[in-house]
Structures are given as C-alpha cells and as structure tokens.
Amino acid sequence: MSDMYVPYVAMVAVLFLGWVAHWTKTRSKVGSLPLPSLARLKTPEESDALVLAVRQELVARMGGRIDWSRPIEELRQELRPIVEHILALSNPLLSLMEHHFIVQTVVEGIGRRDEHSEATV
C-alpha cells in the first residue's frame, strides 16, 4: 500500500523543488533592480535647492566652530565627510554622480567670499 503513494510524493517533491528554483531566480533579480528614481535631480533648480539645504545644515551643525584662520583647503578636507554624511541622511537615493556633484559643489563653496560677508560656508 505504501508503494501506491510514491508517485504522488515524487510529484509533490518535484513541484516544490521547481517552486524553490523559481523563487530563487526571482529573488536574485529583484535584488539587482535599480533603486527607484524618486529623488533624482531632474532640474538645475532641484540641484541648487539641495546644495542650499546641505549648506544650511552644515552651518547649523558647525556654526561658529569653524576656524577661518586655517587654510581653506584644510577646512574643505575636514568638512567634506560631514557634507557627505549630511547629504546621505537627507537624500539617499541620489546616483553616485549626483552625490559627488552635490558634495563637490558644497565643498568648493566653503570659504568663497561674497559681497555680504567675509567667508561663506
């Protein structure tokens, strides 16, 4: 009587293994899909707004703790990781190129002189 169930058990085992194989393939494809582009910078205005927001957050965090007597390049190197951290927290869905562009724009703007103040962040 137990020989009667062997074909059914084999059929269930084959179906189960087929389902596992399909699930494994589907799962690996889902992990390689690109992130949604909800936060991508579509216009220069969006880029400018993000640069301004990161600068404002940098000023809020660092404020008067920036020693302007030090060389500007040294300040930029010190503040770069902070800018990268602020940007990563505020907008994690940027592409690598967008992230690099925003960080570079903010960091290069550190220490520039404008008509209203001695130096800007």
Mapping DSSP onto H, E and C, the string for 15-53 reads HHHHHHHHHHHHHHHHHCCCCCCCCCCCCHHHHHHHHHH
Rounded CA-CA distance 40/32 in Å is: 19
The lowest-confidence range among 53-62, 86-95, 99-108 is 86-95
Rounded CA-CA distance 84/92 in Å is: 11
Question: Do 56 and 101 belong together in one domain?
Answer: yes
pLDDT > 90? residue 14:
no
Share of the chain above pLDDT 90, in %: 7
Q: What integer pLDDT is reported at residue 31 of this predicted model?
A: 40
Question: Do 22 and 64 belong together in one domain?
Answer: no
Give the domain extent around 11. 2-31
pLDDT > 60? residue 117:
no
120, part of any domain: no
121, part of any domain: no
Give the mean pLDDT of 61-79.
85
Question: Do 48 and 98 belong together in one domain?
Answer: yes
